[in-house]
Every structure is written in structure tokens, then in C-alpha cells.
């Protein structure tokens, strides 16, 4: 039951993008097409889950025993950037089209505060390794849900008669705000 609460809480109630406002850069930047958003969601899910596992192990078996927990953030950033490089190499070989579509946003996962935030929140919430993995996957699903909903709406808005002054970023920000308000409806669920 505890894992179900973690999942519902991470996906809906405390959505990493719409409630905690982490990962806004790729959320706004990659969400113009659903196909690109799917690729970014997969890359974020892989990096977020793997980063949470590795950073959990580093924190509990290196930083805490040696009393250097103040190195948490810098060590997490190094782990995340290494994982992103690995994802870039794999995507370049496996799916060159997706690699090109993601373009500059793939390296931005390195500085995606959602990935770093989940790794830090796992430690702050004192999750064990399995709970941390479930938390990371659930947050990645929440990120994917938010970015895919947003991309679908943005694609639909491109077909609509949006006034010239509201086209592009202004209407995207209004839609993002409305989505955040919609997700606030889940508050108190968990």
C-alpha cells in the first residue's frame, strides 16, 4: 500500500513539474510536438531512475560513512551528467532521428532540476532503495504525463485561431498554469 501512495503522490498530487515546478526548461522547450515529448520522457525516465539508484548508493555507502554529505549536490551532478552522456551515445546509435529531434534538449537533462530534485528528495524523505526507485519511476511518469498533456494541447493550439499577441510562449504559459491548477485538484488525495 505504501508504494501505491508513493506512486499516486508523485504522479498526481506532487507532480514534479506542475506542483513542485522542477524541470520547467524541458517542459517548455520540448513540448511543441508529442513525438519529441515521448522521446524526452523516455530519456528522463531512464536517467532519473538510474540516477536515483546510483546517487542513493553513493550517499549511503560513500558520503555518509566518510562524513562528507556536504558533497551530495556536486556528486549527484557528476553522476547525472555521466548518465546523460551515456544516453546520448546510446540514442545516437539506436535512434539517430530521435537524437536529432531532441537536439540541444538532451544535454539539458544534465541540468534538469527534476532529475537532481528526485535524487535529493529520495534522501530527504529517507526512502530505502526500493522506495527510491518507485519514487523515481513515479516522478518520471508524472513528468511524462505533464509534458505529453502539454504537448498535445500545444499541437492542438497550433491548429486553432489563437490571437497573434498570444501565439507561442504566452499561450503556452497560460496553458501550463491551467494544467497546474488542474493538478491542484488532486491535493489531499494522499
What digits encode the pLDDT tens for the residues 129-180?
A: 999 999 999 999 999 999 999 999 999 988 888 888 888 888 989 999 999 9
pLDDT number for residue 36 = 82
pLDDT number for residue 41 = 87
Cβ-based neighbour number of residue 117 at 10 Å: 19
- Please report which confidence band the pLDDT of residue 35 belongs to, taking 50, 70 and 90 as the band edges: confident
The lowest-confidence range among 11-25, 29-43, 170-184 is 29-43
Largest CA distance in the chain: 60
Average pLDDT, the chain: 89
Percent of the chain with pLDDT over 90: 52
What digits encode the pLDDT tens for the residues 87-119?
A: 788 888 988 887 887 666 677 777 778 999 999
More confident residue, 53 or 42: 53
Q: Which of 131, 155, 138, 146 is nearest to 180 (CA)?
A: 146
pLDDT number for residue 7 = 94
> What are the grid coordinates assigned to 109, written together?
537533462
Cα–Cα distance between 65 and 60 in angstroms, integer?
7
Burial annotation 94-114 (CB, 10 A radius, 16+ → b, else e): eeeebbebbeebbebbbebeb
User: What is the dihedral sign for C-alpha 23, 39, 119, 65?
Assistant: negative
pLDDT number for residue 105 = 67
Cα–Cα distance between 38 and 23 in angstroms, integer?
15
- Please report which confidence band the pLDDT of residue 71 belongs to, taking 50, 70 and 90 as the band edges: very high
Using H for helix, E for strand and C for coil, what is the string for the chain? CHHHHHHHHHHHHCCCCCCCCCCHHHHHHCCCCHHHHHHHHHHHHHHHHHHHHHHHHHHHHHHCCCCCHHHHHHHHHHHHHHHHHHHHHHHHHHCHHHHHHHCCHHHHHHHCHHHHHHHHHHHHCCCCHHHHHHHHHHHHHHHHHHHHHHHHHHHHHHCCCCCHHHCCHHHHHHHHHHHHHHHHCCCCCC
Enter the pTM of the model.
0.88
Amino acid at each position: 500500500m505504501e508504494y501505491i501512495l508513493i506512486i499516486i503522490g508523485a504522479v498526481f498530487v506532487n507532480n514534479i513539474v506542475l506542483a513542485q515546478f522542477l524541470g520547467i526548461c524541458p517542459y517548455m522547450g520540448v513540448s511543441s510536438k508529442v513525438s519529441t515529448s515521448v522521446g524526452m520522457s523516455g530519456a528522463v525516465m531512464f536517467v532519473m531512475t538510474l540516477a536515483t539508484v546510483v546517487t542513493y548508493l553513493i550517499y549511503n555507502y560513500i558520503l555518509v560513512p566518510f562524513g562528507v554529505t556536504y558533497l551530495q549536490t556536486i556528486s549527484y551532478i557528476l553522476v547525472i551528467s555521466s548518465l546523460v552522456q551515456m544516453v546520448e551515445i546510446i540514442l545516437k546509435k539506436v535512434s539517430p532521428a530521435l537524437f536529432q529531434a531532441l537536439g540541444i534538449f538532451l544535454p539539458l537533462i544534465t541540468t534538469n532540476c527534476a532529475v537532481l530534485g528526485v535524487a535529493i528528495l529520495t534522501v530527504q524523505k529517507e526512502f530505502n532503495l526500493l522506495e527510491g526507485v518507485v519514487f523515481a519511476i513515479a516522478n518520471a511518469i508524472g513528468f511524462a504525463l505533464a509534458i505529453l498533456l502539454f504537448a498535445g494541447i500545444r499541437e492542438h493550439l497550433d491548429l486553432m485561431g489563437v490571437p497573434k499577441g498570444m501565439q507561442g510562449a504566452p499561450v503556452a504559459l497560460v496553458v501550463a498554469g491551467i494544467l497546474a491548477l488542474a493538478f491542484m485538484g488532486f491535493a489531499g488525495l494522499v
